[in-house]
Amino acid sequence: MSITDKPSHFLEQIIEKDLADGKFSSISTRFPPEPNGFLHVGHAKSICLNFGLAEKYQGQCNLRFDDTNPAKEEQVYVDAIKEDVHWLGFQWAGEVRYASDYFDTFYEWALHLIREGNAYVCDLSPEEASEYRGWATKPGKDSPYRTRSVEENLDLFGRMRAGEFDEGAKVLRAKIDMASSNMNLRDPILYRIRKQSHHQTGDKWCIYPSYDFAHGQEDAIEGITHSICTLEFQDHRPLYDWFIENLPVPHKPRQYEFARLNLNYTVTSKRKLKKLVDEDVVSGWDDPRMPTISGMRRRGYTASAIRKFCDMIGVTRSDGIVDVAMLEHAIRDDLNENAARAMAVLNPLKVVITNLPEGEVQAMTAAAHPNRPEMGERTLPFTREIYIDRSDFTEDSTLSRKKFKRLVLGEWVRLRSAYVIRADEVVKDDAGKIVEVRATLVPGTVGENPPEGVRPRGVIHWVSASQGRQAELRIYDRLFTHEAPDRGEEDFMKYVNPESLQVVQAWIEPGLADAAPEQGFQFEREGYFVADRVDHTAEHPVFNLTIGLKDTQGK
């Protein structure tokens, strides 16, 4: 992705000034996810920003996993994140990096802080530590273990590493300022005891660094020039800088903050997304209703549309709420331009063409895209029995042509890329429901104007009843009914949309059964659909509704 030449946002201005002043000869950014869940749409913004800036200014962007908490991290998340970054169209510089790559260095630097009198081993319980920390309006107080000698701290920290103590028994804390107005500077934790295997280092370690201790030092080791975080890390920047100033780091990066993506009708908390998965509200992290990158991908959102959306919303220093309709608009624009056209009948009504012999199959030709001749053509089998959508027929001949541009008893309509037909009679069941329409085709009207006196009301879509295929269509709606489901005191689960998924059996063009997984289409007059990347097969076609043809949410 190339960032457009629109007026520069504040990060571009900073980078351009740094380069112009000779502060750096080239820039280096990083995308540092924690592998404790799947990436979501907010991460997509960060990915596009960090990789996009590196690309624009001919620098590099590292992919680095901040894997400092083995209790919540899994290899499956690592693999999914790498796939997401690639799918969005980006390639990281060199090999994938991990915080765990630097655990030996972090340990040595922790020893350095102890020797310099800037760190100590603390025995306070989590509850006691919270009490000692104070509040935003009340200064904290020193831990009774803050005055331990360097020798005692070195001994205890070494024994922590050796596994002598239970989890929670001791932590290593930085010695900064318990009276600071910035809570992050009140002797933050550097190391915790966690006797758990790590997905990268196995059982080598039983103590693990905190995110705050690891993050800036990873940037320093990797030579990151612009460490770009979301606004919630703004209050962490003084701590970031304190570590850089008090450790023998090879490079001094600087942290900058931008506003995270907050999308209405959406939840992006990993904890809450995991709850949706764990409680089977959705089928998994890649459920098409989820705001995860893999979920959006499975729903049929394109990488180019997501990148365009991220560019549309811009980069600012102030938080705000973005209307999900902007994302949907970007998706529609992309699919309207690039999705092949096809026909599917969701609510079938059989039509029998009485003047076409039984068993005869005629091949009709249709453009794959009305405005993209390079996309080629497709062949549609036309047979005596076809299906049209039930809503496309009425017996009421009093309806004006302006109000109803479809098939009316006794009148004509054009079948897309096929004949003009006239509805002659209907067949009803015992309950009076129409089960069949009997019609006649007008010869010579394939691709030609009908003869004088034949006035089709409009054009409708259809599928051969004998040659078409049945398919499972998954009709998705927004997962939440409230525009701010996770803001406020009420449980976000209260706003889960019970109708966010409906499954429909439909008739499709036979060629659609051979669609490749993730291949997207516009089902004419129905919406944009994609062949499911997990479940779709030629024997059992499955298509997911990506988005409707028009925005009807506010109507």
pLDDT tens-digit map of 443-453: 999 999 999 99
In whole angstroms, give the CA distance from residue 180 to residue 242: 13
In whole angstroms, give the CA distance from residue 433 to residue 500: 29
The active-site residue out of 16, 34, 385, 436 is: 34
Distance of CA 436 to the CA centre of its chain: 43
pLDDT band, residue 12 (cuts 50/70/90) = very high
Q: What is the mean pLDDT of residues 41-46?
A: 97
The verdict on whether 195 is a catalytic residue reads: no
Angle CA(242)–CA(245)–CA(251) in degrees, nearest 5? 120
- pTM: predicted TM-score of the whole model, two decimal places: 0.93
The active-site residue out of 260, 274, 372, 405 is: 260
The verdict on whether 275 is a catalytic residue reads: no
In whole angstroms, give the CA distance from residue 141 to residue 148: 16
In whole angstroms, give the CA distance from residue 167 to residue 170: 7
- Taken in order of first residue, the domains within the chain and their CATH numbers are 10-258 (3.40.50.620), 270-338+471-547 (2.40.240.10), 347-467 (2.40.240.10)
What are 301-328's pLDDT values in tens digits? 999 999 999 999 999 999 899 999 999 9
The active-site residue out of 45, 64, 186, 270 is: 270
Helix (H/G/I), strand (E/B), else coil: 281: coil
The distance in angstroms from the start CA to the end CA of the chain is 35
Above pLDDT 70, what percent of the chain? 98
pLDDT of residue 487: 82
What are 108-133's pLDDT values in tens digits? 999 999 999 999 999 999 999 999 99
Nearest Cα to Cα of residue 233 among 258, 204, 208: 258
What are 453-462's pLDDT values in tens digits? 999 999 999 9
pLDDT of residue 1: 39
pLDDT of residue 6: 55
Q: What is the mean pLDDT of residues 237-246?
A: 98
* Cα dist from 84 to 30, 81, 346, 393, 551, whole Å: 15, 5, 32, 45, 27
Average pLDDT value over all residues in the chain: 96
* Cα dist from 15 to 31, 90, 555, whole Å: 17, 20, 44
The verdict on whether 252 is a catalytic residue reads: no
Let me know: does 414 contact 458? Beta carbons within 8 Å: yes
Helix (H/G/I), strand (E/B), else coil: 235: helix
